[in-house]
Chain A
């Protein structure tokens, strides 16, 4: 058995890692998996960068930021496998949510109108709204910025974005330290269940296939340990498929509920797994079937174009100075090559390309695939724009004009 350690944060989308360990998928591949639970992304990052763990559950943008050295000495990260798409919700205080459509369903289903309503509400709120984000370099923060900017809100000027660990968001909202937060599940559902917040937007309705967590390793470790990485990716592929199967939902929820994993009630965790959740306490349960995607539609395939979308947003918000080198380094974080070499010949649907225009599919599309049948899922952005990874500056220019 090969021992491997993976650092993770207690979130619903750590499920594939937990299932790989607890349901025998890692063991079947000859891996003795140890999961190290942390409380901050900074500590997950440090453990990975300084070799205390071999792999980590990591925010996709953080993997890119660490590679580019945006907040510490650069360290080349490889992300050979996406752990999930989507899974985030924007939860607002009742006071702030009152300025939006009175029907919570309409808020979530019409992100265009809600963005405009939110923009109008900012000036009327008793203070500049303070919105909790989990990290500067998180998918959630990029999603929130994208959504706000659509309605003409400058996220660096018109609202205050405050970084808080996901597990402390609910308490901060209760105490009025923040007016809302965007975070991964189960924290939105916990706030709703406790009657202190209302879900006003779901990531899946802002970008239908939003890149979220990745399995991250050090690039040099991935090079030197190709066999072990291959074993792990095969275990994770099976674990992710298992997580996506509705028949296993209850089991996944019960596993995650354990105090050494997420430590929240199974019924709240199950809501995101099923994509069926109330948006306010006692409210109607609504269906968001792709609220959280673990496997279907080749969700685990690390499209280089998705790493470049992240890079484009870093440039957009002045987080990185644009350069050909930085662009190449960012694209190189998502290692579709390692995914292919680990999973080729195993009946896993395998896209023929490593880049695609993001946000161009309104309907499911059968895609060119080396093996298996591959159905790509609709991946539209809520504003109808699409991202061509070959023309980042054109894309950013178009965003500025709108």
Chain B
């Protein structure tokens, strides 16, 4: 079975492709939706096209799939219209699938199941990445705020940290917010670095 993944997020497409290969699918192509991608799809003649539901280009892609001969016969939106639970899971996960009409349901279902799991895994990864990025940024902010306090008030690092923490507790704010405010103020006074 030939599977095309239309995606311009490298990571999500890779995660999905890996999963499909592990499951034994071999003919997989990642097609970024730019340039002459429709011609590429036509040459590939996929049985299944997977794409991200949140892609703003979905109307354009659907139109191109409709007017081009990329998929041999008119496309069906989801594997089985009666399986609403699965369709709901696909929409929740952000998966949209286009399938060559007439392809057997039991052949497509594993692909869709896998796409749903991998899209969900990607979302979790994305959330974790975002959290890690925020944490890193906050740590940098905190370090800078401590440095400012140590320099301007001659405090040790533990003292600077303690001061930030007690201020945050008194104001009912997060330490990162207090640190941020301190840096802004220091910038305004011209001694932030």
A-side contacts of B60, CB under 8 Å: 162-165
Docked-complex contact B59 and A135, CB < 8 angstroms: yes
The digit string for B83-94, where 1 denotes a CB below 8 A from any CB of A, is 010011001100
Interface residues of B (CB under 8 A from A): 53-60, 62-64, 66, 76-78, 81, 84, 87-88, 91-92, 96
Q: Which residues from A are CB-within-8-Å of B55?
A: 39-40
User: What is the CA–CA distance of A167 and B58 in the complex, to the nearest angstrom?
Assistant: 13
Cα of A39 to Cα of B57 in the assembled complex, Å? 8
Closest to A74 in B: B81
**Besides A43-B53, A134-B59, 18 other A-B contacts (C-beta < 8 A):** A38-B54, A39-B56, A42-B58, A42-B96, A43-B96, A46-B53, A50-B78, A50-B84, A50-B91, A51-B84, A52-B88, A52-B91, A71-B62, A73-B81, A136-B66, A163-B62, A163-B63, A165-B57
- The one of A42, A50, A168 that contacts B87, using a Cβ cutoff of 8 Å: A50
A47 within 8 A of B: yes
* A136, closest chain B residue (CB): B63
Bin the interface of chain A by size: 20 to 34
Q: How far is the CB of A220 from chain B (nearest CB, A)?
A: 12
Of the residues B63, B66, B76, B96, contact of A46 by C-beta under 8 Å: B96
Whether B77 pairs with A43 at a CB distance below 8 angstroms is no
Q: Are A47 and B59 in contact (CB under 8 A)?
A: no
7 A-B contact pairs sorted by A residue (CB < 8 Å): A51-B88, A52-B91, A72-B77, A73-B81, A136-B63, A163-B63, A164-B57
Cα-based distance from A52 to B88 in the complex (angstroms) = 7
Q: Given A47-B91, A50-B91: A165 and B59 within 8 A (CB)?
A: yes
Which A residues lie within 8 Å of B87 (CB)? Answer: 50
CB-CB nearest in chain A for B51: A42
A-B contact count (CB 8 A): 62
Smallest CB separation, B21 vs chain A (Å)? 28
- Judge whether A261 is part of the interface by a CB distance below 8 angstroms: no
A residues less than 8 Å from B81 (CB atoms)? 73
Question: B77 near A73 (CB under 8 angstroms)?
Answer: yes
Cα(A162)–Cα(B62), bound, Å: 12
A40 and B57 contact, CB distance less than 8 A: yes
A73 to B54, CA, bound (A): 21
The complex places the Cα of A82 from the Cα of B54 at a distance, in Å, of 26
- Asked if A40 and B56 sit within 8 Å, CB to CB, the answer is yes
Residue among B64, B91, B96 with the most chain A CB within 10 A?
Answer: B91
Q: Are the C-beta atoms of B91 and A42 separated by less than 8 Å?
A: no
Question: How near does chain A come to B100, taking the closest CB pair, in angstroms?
Answer: 14
For residue A41, CB closer than 8 A to chain B, the reply is yes
CB-CB under 8 A from B63, the residues of chain A are 135-136, 163
Contact A72 B76 (CB under 8 A): yes
Find chain B residues with CB under 8 A from A167 CB.
Answer: 56
Task: Specify which chain B residues have a CB less than 8 angstroms from the CB of A40 in the assembled complex.
Answer: 55-59
Q: Chain A's nearest CB lies how many Å from the CB of B8?
A: 13
Q: Which residues of A contact B58 (CB under 8 A)?
A: 39-40, 42-43
Query: Is A46 a contact partner of B59 (Cβ separation < 8 A)?
Result: no
CB distance from B141 to the nearest CB of A (A): 24
Residues of B within 8 A of A47 (CB): 91
Contacts of B57 in A (CB 8 A): 40, 164-165, 168
Smallest CB–CB gap between B88 and chain A, Å?
Answer: 6
Closest to A71 in B: B66
Given A51-B84, A51-B88, A163-B63, decide whether A46 and B77 contact each other with a Cβ distance below 8 A: yes
Question: Taking the nearest CB of chain A, how far is it from the CB of B176, in angstroms?
Answer: 23
**What CA separation (Å) do A163 and B59 show in the bound complex?**
7
- Distance to closest chain B CB from A161 (angstroms): 9
* Cβ contacts under 8 Å, A136 to chain B: 63, 66
With A and B bound together, what is the CA distance between A134 and B56 in angstroms? 11
Using Cβ atoms and an 8 Å threshold, which residues of chain A touch B88? 50-52
Taking a contact as CB atoms under 8 Å apart, the answer to whether A39 and B54 are in contact is yes
Rounded to whole Å, the gap between the CB of B96 and the closest CB of chain A is 7
In chain A, what residue has the closest Cβ to B81? A73
Nearest-CB residue, chain B, relative to A164: B60
Over the window 193-237 of chain A, the binary record of Cβ atoms lying under 8 Å from chain B Cβ atoms (1 yes, 0 no) is 000000000000000000000000000000000000000000000
| Shortest 4 CB-CB contacts between residues of A and residues of B | A163-B63, A40-B58, A39-B56, A72-B77
Query: Measured between alpha carbons, how far is A163 from B88 in the docked complex, in Å?
Result: 27
Q: Which residue of A lies closest to B64 (CB)?
A: A163
Beta-carbon contacts under 8 Å, A131-176 to B: 134-136, 162-165, 167-168
Please state if A41 and B91 are interface contacts (CB–CB under 8 Å): no
Chain A residue nearest in CB terms to B67 = A136
Contact mask for chain A residues 310-348; partner B; CB cutoff 8 A; 1 contact, 0 none: 000000000000000000000000000000000000000
Question: Contact partner of B59 among A41, A51, A52, A72, CB < 8 A?
Answer: A41
CA distance A153 to B92 in the complex (A): 43
B residues near A165, Cβ cutoff 8 Å:
56-57, 59-60
CB distance from B74 to the nearest CB of A (A): 8
User: For residue A50, which residues in chain B have a CB less than 8 angstroms away from its CB?
Assistant: 78, 84, 87-88, 91
Contacts of B59 in A (CB 8 A): 40-42, 134-135, 163-165
| Minimum CB–CB distance for A135 against chain B, Å | 6
B25 → chain A closest CB, angstroms: 24
Q: How far is it, in angstroms, between the C-alpha of A38 and the C-alpha of B54 when the chains are bound?
A: 7
* Residues in A52-76 with C-beta less than 8 Å from chain B: 52, 71-73
The residues of B that contact A71 with a CB separation of less than 8 Å are: 62, 66
Q: State A135–B96 Cα separation when bound (angstroms).
A: 18
A73 to chain B: closest residue by CB:
B81
